[in-house]
Amino acid sequence: MNILVTGGTSGLGKAIVELMATDANNHVIFTYLDTPEYRDVVADMGKRYPNLSAYPLQFCDRNNVKEFCGQMQTMDLDALVNCTYVGSPQGTYFHKTPIEDFEKSFGNNLIPTIMLTQTAVKGFKKKRFGKIVNIISEAVMGLPPMGYSIYAANKAYLMKLSDEWNKEYTRYNITSNCVLPAFMNTGLTNTDPRIVEQLEMQHPLKKLLTPEEVAVVVKFLLEAPQQVNGVKMPVNAAEIIM
């Protein structure tokens, strides 16, 4: 299976890439931010997994995303995992959030994701096969945490897009499923250790969710039959039930 994972050098994206790469039959393609730190990560991953291909991508640069979409047309993709999120989930209160912050986050996160998915779908339609997995968030279930206006709205928008992809492309044997992880202490969250400790004490299992555990769920959806479609799967130890 040829799988494209966006944002594959840290956090959940890296966990997904490495798990899928353990199967030598997979060719795992991933994007990364072209910095010295992430170039070192790419080099290390390449030594351990020969079935990886890494592409630098500036997710916030519309022209760079457009160029990458051109490259995608030669990848013969079977699956796309929309994992990248630019910025921090935690912000300020809704009424204190500048309109420009909403516009910037939408442009930095949703527009690139839409562009990449449109390109992938065109290839999937020709093959009459394809899998899309969208990394959403538990924040769209029930009431999101305070300060999550932008993040929760972006994730909810992507989840509704996934519904539309179900409606339009199931007849082409294309699936679109969503994974809704609970809080993970990754570089994206960068949470105060005291808050992390408190969250661990409140957790039913007394330990926070890890990227590796979520990656197992993504792997299931990538390997599941096409009958598994339109799924919104929480990964949260049943703290919130849809």
Residue of 93, 151, 157, 172 marked catalytic: 151
Kindly list the distances between the CA atom of residue 134 and the CA atoms of 50, 94, 111, 206, in Å, as whole numbers in the listed order. Answer: 26, 25, 14, 27
One-letter amino acid identity for 138? E
Spatial distance between the Cα atoms of 233 and 218, rounded to a whole number of angstroms: 10
Q: Is 151 a catalytic residue?
A: yes
Q: Are strands 27-32 and 52-56 parallel, antiparallel or unpaired?
A: parallel
Contact by Cβ (8 Å): 85, 72: no
Give Cβ neighbours of residue 100 (< 8 Å, ≥ 6 apart): none
Contact by Cβ (8 Å): 42, 32: yes
Spatial distance between the Cα atoms of 126 and 109, rounded to a whole number of angstroms: 27
3-state helix/strand/coil string of 79-107: EEEECCCCCCCCCCCHHHCCHHHHHHHHH
Give Cβ neighbours of residue 72 (< 8 Å, ≥ 6 apart): 4, 116, 119, 120, 123
Give Cβ neighbours of residue 111 (< 8 Å, ≥ 6 apart): 62
Report, as residue numbers or ranges, the catalytic residues: 151
